[in-house]
């Protein structure tokens, strides 16, 4: 540190340090603003920052113009950046931040938050609430990326997985993904015949769900406006209630059996939803799941093994029907795996590639879905366990 005297008679404190291997002079302030002791204290602070690779002047300017606490940042992000997401998703963001992040980091300036601080949030829930922890990390990362882009942070997001992994999973033993229990594709025609024999709206919804290989919410919240009877196409838009599609639509080629179900539903009701629940609201997830449970229980009561996942031994659930379809495509057809992934609305390729190919993919997938429907209807009549074949 040194004292510089100017021709005008003014005097200033100067600190000479090294930043990015280059010698630089930093003005600490005039002798009117700082005493010798204050100048020395500030010079010491500058020295520590430079050793950490931080430009002291840039940090001071940033602190003056762009300073915000983490709690304020979350509030502002939710108010400005989550306007177009579904209300349920927006509430989930706010809830996870209020529950896990804000109690730990709420009062901290966002530019001072490090990867270690983020790990303090995630470590307690990483083992017991892995899926929630993953969502919290992803949401934190999006918030910090936004803060960097808007000038509230001078460094990259501290919530990147590659930086957190050595802390949260140092031995690389993260739990494997647990897939939803599925009916073996060899047994699904028998299961499908049972569903077809039932006359409830939930049975038609479950049948339509299996035929289309989409997600449960896509069917339960299906409005008539998404069906194009003339072109025989169902278009699921992104971000509509019940869907997990975020940035693209998904087109389902409608086969004769699918259209037959839709026409049947047109004859018996005329509300907004194709498969309504009570009071003409959307059908609940539990309604569809209960039907699968009841079918399984009835099979057990009849002395048959029911419908369980081959690997886990767990009772099959509606979401597992997509796996049954995917396994059938792989084992029984010559269709490329890419086409099967598109059929179940898994993102395959960039958004540009998907936009370019999606129209052709509908017609390429139409014969695939026809063959799937034919396979589902190939069951042989079930025999009573007490009957013997002669």
Q: From CA 170, how far away is CA 153, in angstroms rounded?
A: 27
Indicate whether 177 pLDDT > 70.
Answer: no
Q: From CA 333, how far away is CA 323, in angstroms rounded?
A: 15
pLDDT at 263: 95
Q: From CA 194, how far away is CA 379, in angstroms rounded?
A: 10
Q: Tens of pLDDT along 261-286?
A: 999 999 987 789 999 988 888 999 99
Rounded to 5°, the CA angle 243-248-249 comes to 65
Tokens 């419908």 belong to residue: 307
| Sign of the torsion formed by the C-alpha atoms of 43, 44, 45 and 48 | positive
Residue 51 CB contacts under 8 Å (≥ 6 apart), including other chains: none
3 state SS of 71: helix
DSSP3 helix / strand / coil % (the chain, rounded to 5): 55, 10, 35
For residues 307-332, one letter each, b for 16 or more C-beta atoms within 10 angstroms of the residue's C-beta and e for the rest, the string is bbbeeeeebbbbbbbbbbbbbbbeee
Q: From CA 172, how far away is CA 178, in angstroms rounded?
A: 17
Q: In what order do the strands lie in the sheet with 2-5?
A: 2-5, 11-19, 22-30
Retrieve residue 190's tokens: 């028998």
pLDDT at 384: 42
Retrieve residue 161's tokens: 């997985």
Range of weakest confidence among 10-24, 73-87, 138-152, 168-182: 168-182
Q: Tens of pLDDT along 311-321?
A: 889 999 999 99
Residue range 2-65 in CATH 3.30.160.390: yes
Per the CB < 8 A criterion, the answer to whether 313 and 305 are in contact is no
Give the largest Cα separation in the chain, rounded. 117
Per the CB < 8 A criterion, the answer to whether 28 and 46 are in contact is yes
Every domain of the chain and the residues it spans: 2-65, 70-168, 188-376
CA–CA distances in Å: residue 155 to residues 62, 144, 202:
12, 9, 52
Indicate whether 178 pLDDT > 70.
Answer: no
Q: Cα 103 from chain centroid? A: 24
0.85 surpassed by pTM: no
Per the CB < 8 A criterion, the answer to whether 245 and 345 are in contact is yes
Q: Tens of pLDDT along 347-386?
A: 655 555 555 555 547 888 999 999 999 999 998 654 444 4
| Sign of the torsion formed by the C-alpha atoms of 307, 311, 315 and 317 | negative
As assigned by CATH, the class of the 70-168 domain is: mainly alpha
**Partners of 17 in beta bridges:** 24
Question: How many CA atoms within 13 Å lie on the side-chain side of 9?
Answer: 0
Fold classification of 188-376 (topology level): hpI Integrase; Chain A (1.10.443)
3 state SS of 54: coil
pLDDT at 94: 93
Q: To the nearest whole number, what is the mean pLDDT of the chain?
A: 86
Per the document, the length of the chain is 390
30 pLDDT band, cuts 50/70/90, is confident
């Amino acid at each position: 540190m040194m004292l510089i005297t100017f021709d005008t008679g003014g005097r200033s404190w100067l600190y000479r340090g090294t930043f990015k291997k280059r010698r630089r002079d930093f003005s600490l302030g005039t002798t009117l603003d700082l005493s010798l002791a204050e100048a020395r204290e500030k010079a010491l602070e500058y020295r520590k920052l430079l050793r950490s690779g931080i430009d002291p002047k840039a940090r001071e300017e940033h602190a003056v113009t762009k300073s915000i606490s983490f709690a304020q940042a979350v509030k502002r992000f939710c108010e400005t950046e989550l306007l177009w997401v579904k209300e349920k998703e927006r509430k989930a963001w706010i809830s996870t931040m209020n529950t896990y992040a804000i109690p730990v980091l709420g009062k901290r300036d966002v530019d001072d938050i490090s990867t270690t601080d983020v790990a303090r949030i995630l470590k307690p829930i990483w083992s017991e609430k892995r899926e929630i922890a993953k969502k919290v990390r992803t949401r934190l990362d999006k918030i910090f990326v936004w803060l960097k882009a808007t000038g509230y942070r001078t460094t990259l997001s501290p919530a990147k997985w590659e930086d957190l992994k050595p802390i949260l999973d140092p031995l690389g033993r993260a739990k494997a993904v647990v897939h939803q229990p599925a009916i073996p594709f060899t047994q699904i025609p028998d299961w499908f015949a049972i569903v077809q024999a039932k006359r409830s709206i939930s049975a038609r919804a479950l049948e339509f769900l299996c035929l289309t290989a989409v997600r449960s919410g896509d069917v339960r919240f299906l409005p008539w406006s998404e069906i194009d009877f003339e072109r025989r196409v169902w278009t699921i838009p992104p971000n509509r209630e019940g869907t997990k599609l975020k940035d693209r639509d998904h087109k389902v080629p409608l086969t004769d059996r699918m259209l037959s179900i839709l026409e049947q539903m047109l004859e018996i009701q005329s509300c907004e939803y194709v498969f309504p629940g009570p009071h003409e609201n959307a059908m609940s997830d539990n309604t569809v799941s209960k039907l699968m449970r009841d079918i399984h229980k009835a099979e057990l009561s009849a002395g048959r093994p029911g419908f369980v996942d081959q690997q886990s031994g767990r009772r099959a659930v509606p979401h597992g029907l997509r796996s049954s379809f995917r396994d059938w495509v792989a084992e029984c057809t010559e269709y490329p795996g890419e086409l099967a992934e598109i059929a179940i609305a898994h993102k395959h390729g960039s958004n540009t590639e998907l936009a370019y190919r999606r129209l052709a993919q509908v017609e390429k997938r139409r014969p695939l879905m026809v063959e799937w429907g034919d396979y589902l209807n190939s069951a042989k009549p079930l025999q009573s366990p007490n009957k013997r074949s002669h």
